[in-house]
Amino acid sequence: MQTSAKDQLRTIVARVERLEEEKAALAADLREVYAEAKGNGFDIKALKSVIRIRKQDENKRRDEEAVLTTYLHALGMADPAEAEAEAA
């Protein structure tokens, strides 16, 4: 391998290693925030769902919610108050 190729490879490896370290630090930070939320009485599973939903495109989210509502109605699992609101 030529010197320039070796140097380039070393640089790439160093960058990846640095990014992996940053990723690990961010993951630790996220664990701390979730632990804090849990300590304050928040449901972590629900919190993660809210975060996932907020990341989605609004139109895509609405489409998925409509399909889910349709399936829940078909299975008799829909909230009766929600069914009344939709009928009104």
Residue 88's pLDDT band, with cuts at 50, 70 and 90, is low
Angle at 87 between CA 81 and CA 88, to 5 degrees: 90
Higher-pLDDT residue of 79 and 75 is 75
CA distance 44 to 34: 7
pLDDT over threshold 90, residue 2: no
pLDDT computed for residue 79 by the predictor: 77
Helices 3-39, 44-55: axis angle to 10 degrees equals: 130
Overall residue count recorded for the chain in this entry: 88
C-alpha atoms less than 13 angstroms from C-alpha of 35 in its C-beta half-sphere = 6
Percent of the chain predicted with pLDDT > 70: 90
Element housing 5 (H / E): helix 3-39
